[in-house]
Structure 1
Amino acid sequence: MDVYANLKQGERGVWVSIIAYVCCSLVKVGVALAAGSEALLADGLNNTTDVVASVAVLIGLRISRKPPDHDHPYGHFRAETISALVASFIMLAVGIEVLSRAISSLFNPEMKAPDMLAGWTALATAAVMFGVYRYNRRLARATHSQGLMAAAEDNRSDALVSVGTFAGVAGAQFQLHWLDPLTALVVGGIILKTAWSIFREAAHRLTDGFDRGELEALRSTIAQIPGVKDIKDIKARYHGSSVLVDVVIHVDPRLNVTESHTITEDIEARMRAAHNVNAVHIHIEPDERSQR
């Protein structure tokens, strides 16, 4: 599938997330205020900020689809990674706010058990978000979209948070009033952990980090191409959802230009088929061993 087609498919997943988050946040916040549940309110606020984070991812995907121009000859694909970074910052701010509210409520001596309606609301929305997570994860893997995968991971965290919210509200019914704010505290911790995970991956990609195991897999594929005598150097980096590979290979010095070019075409075709890599810059050098 074409890179731009992948980005367009990714947008569909983000829209699904946005619609789900808007509906869930409105229901959760409304029920939380009526039922007096700190845990469900924290959960609802989390979904509210997820709307903003999802919009950031959507904007990143839209910008990524812009074709190359005079000052962006490689295109705008990294806008998708930047959007994931922005989403992590938003989640960080919300996580801190949720933790602050939870700690304050936990030490409130006048705590009361929330209405069980809050628990059932949390459980129902957990089922919704888990369905959204599975949909977006499938789509992210098919389109190789980092922004959409970040959104999918957030969907899963939200589903687990809502399950925890249900447990906290249910436990509070048995005179364990502290379980509701304690659950809100756990929710805040999960939000911060997810934010850190997304930030770390996005920052790693923006600084041209690349997994060594994946790089060795690319090297192995190229080494198996007929005509490649040796691989002098290989580098790879992410450009949004795409991978850019630079490789220096040694070939028989007796080959003519056409024969050498055929080897580069074989490398490009194999990289596309085996690793979905569409951009490979290949530098050819004569193999000194073959000259002896």
Structure 2
Amino acid sequence: MNLLLQAVVVQELPADGHENRTRLGMLAGWASTVMSALMAAAKFFLGAASGSVSMIADATNNLTDMGSSLVIALGFQWSRKPRDEDHPFGHGRIEAVATLVLAIALILVGTEVARSGIMRLVRPQPIEAPVWLLVAVGVTVAVKAWMAVFARQLARLSKSQVLEADAWNHTFDIVSTFMVVVALVCSKFGWGAVDGWMAIGVAGFILYTGVAYAREAIDILLGQKPDPDEVRQIFKTVLAVEGVMSVHEIMVHHYGDVKMVSFHIEVDANMSLVDAHLVSERAEDEVEKHFNWRALAHLDPVDRSHPLFEELNDALHWFIRNDPCLVDVHDLRAEGEAPPYRISFDLVTDMETRRSDYDAIYQKCLSTMERVFGERINHVEIGIEAAVESAPMARRKYDLPQV
């Protein structure tokens, strides 16, 4: 096994890098395709020889394994295509599309296998289970165990969720084949109905795998929230850059195994435009160096030296602590050399808060600002957005009357 991996992996590159990840995925896919095809053929023969519907169901399960492995191999191969004008972010998501097609096929096959099992319960038939048949099935279990170990090793090296799922699929196959063995042994004692029940059990494994694959593929295609650990690491990496005062609105975009990250950084408003740009470039470089992702930073100038800033910061953080809908505040600005000042800021709500609830938040926040600052402010600009929202930020401006 190690010699095979050494022949495939480019030693000078990281094992979970794009090139080696693709090579490992294709190796796992094609190896599993060939082995599953041989296993399916053998089990169809054994099922026909014994008359066991659960054995034929297990052969059908291996046939779907061959299809899933073929999808994995082709998915990795297609995702290897370089980006082009029509697909500037590459072809990484084709793996998810292929997985969804496979999932639908698995669900259809599982339904048909369950129907066959039910029919066997309705019309039981005798099963031949000689010793040589049990030995042959035992050999297929050993082969499947090797395939599960091999797939899990490749998944660990490549850090591929698809290969990890494939390894679990092989593990489930061992359980389903064991169920066939139980049916064959029971048939020797005249318990033929067990064959139908075992076929239904195998169908359950197929259906479970199909639904799991479908959910995973749909999540990828719809867009998943970023891993909290990844967000924390990005936050720490960017905040450590000299000149960065704060970080917010971290977004991670997935395109197969290609990721892009965007984030907002707060910098000193008194910094020159050139210096601020250099800070943003350093932040992008640090993220790209640590994560090997494309990074894009947005600059938010903040003047923390303004005489009203600290009081505004304290008032707003008190406000969000006392409003269960709010989770954060950023882009605080106080403008003007003398009272009355102009203030602006952006509030972040939780995902459950609806935009129709924003009116109440605006009024509560405006009342709080008027109560705290009184005549020291004459203009308030409030932005509201939901956490990780793609819709434009809602924003309102208020001119306050001066006595």
TM-score (norm 1): 0.88
How far residue 218 of structure 1 moved from its aligned partner, in angstroms, is 4.2
Distance 1:180 1:99 in 2: 12
Tell which deviates more after alignment, 171-180 or 10-19.
171-180
Distance 1:218 1:118, change over 3 A: farther
Tell which deviates more after alignment, 33-42 or 163-172.
163-172
1:227-249 residue CA offsets vs partner (Å, 9 max, x unmatched): 34222201223211233322222
Q: How many residues align?
A: 287
How far residue 224 of structure 1 moved from its aligned partner, in angstroms, is 5.0
How far residue 214 of structure 1 moved from its aligned partner, in angstroms, is 4.4
How far residue 90 of structure 1 moved from its aligned partner, in angstroms, is 1.6
Q: Is the 8 A contact 1:118 1:166 kept in 2?
A: no
**Are 2:71 and 1:56 equivalent residues in the alignment?**
yes
Distance 2:262 2:280 in 1: 17
Distance 1:235 1:59 in 2: 30
Question: What is the aligned partner in structure 1 of residue 158 from structure 2?
Answer: 143
Distance 1:289 1:131 in 2: 62
Distance 1:191 1:29 in 2: 17
Distance 2:24 2:86 in 1: 26
1:222-261 paired onto structure 2 within 5 Å: 222=237, 225-227=240-242, 228-253=244-269, 254=271, 256=275, 257-261=277-281
1:4-60 residue CA offsets vs partner (Å, 9 max, x unmatched): 331122100111111110111111111111112111111011111221222222222
Q: Secondary structure at the match of 2:304?
A: helix
Amino acid at match of 2:24: Q
Q: 2:205 aligns with which of 190, 210, 213?
A: 190
Distance 1:31 1:163 in 2: 15
Structure 2: any 5+ residue segments left out of the alignment? 1-13, 310-403
Distance 1:58 1:90, change over 3 A: same
**Are 2:84 and 1:69 equivalent residues in the alignment?**
yes
Tell which deviates more after alignment, 76-85 or 149-158.
149-158
Tell which deviates more after alignment, 13-22 or 149-158.
149-158
Distance 1:32 1:261 in 2: 64
Amino acid at match of 1:249: I
Distance 1:101 1:198 in 2: 23
**Are 2:33 and 1:13 equivalent residues in the alignment?**
no
Q: Is the 8 A contact 1:50 1:91 kept in 2?
A: no
**Are 2:281 and 1:266 equivalent residues in the alignment?**
no
Distance 2:211 2:253 in 1: 21
RMSD: 2.3
Structure 1: any 5+ residue segments left out of the alignment? 273-277
**Are 2:58 and 1:38 equivalent residues in the alignment?**
no
Q: Per residue, is there more strand in 1 or in 2?
A: 2
Distance 2:134 2:54 in 1: 9
Question: What is the aligned partner in structure 2 of residue 275 from structure 1?
Answer: none
Q: Is the 8 A contact 2:285 2:295 kept in 1?
A: no
Tell which deviates more after alignment, 249-258 or 65-74.
249-258
Distance 2:177 2:82 in 1: 40
Distance 1:130 1:217 in 2: 38
Greater RCO, CA 8 A, separation 6+: 1
Question: What is the aligned partner in structure 1 of residue 118 from structure 2?
Answer: 103
Q: Is the 8 A contact 1:244 1:280 kept in 2?
A: yes
How far residue 182 of structure 1 moved from its aligned partner, in angstroms, is 0.8
How far residue 259 of structure 1 moved from its aligned partner, in angstroms, is 3.9
> Which entry has the higher C-alpha Rg, 1 or 2?
2
Amino acid at match of 2:105: I
Distance 1:259 1:178 in 2: 72
Amino acid at match of 1:69: D
Distance 1:111 1:259, change over 3 A: same
How far residue 158 of structure 1 moved from its aligned partner, in angstroms, is 1.5
- Sequence identity percentage: 26
Distance 2:148 2:294 in 1: 30
Distance 1:110 1:240, change over 3 A: same
Distance 1:184 1:221, change over 3 A: farther
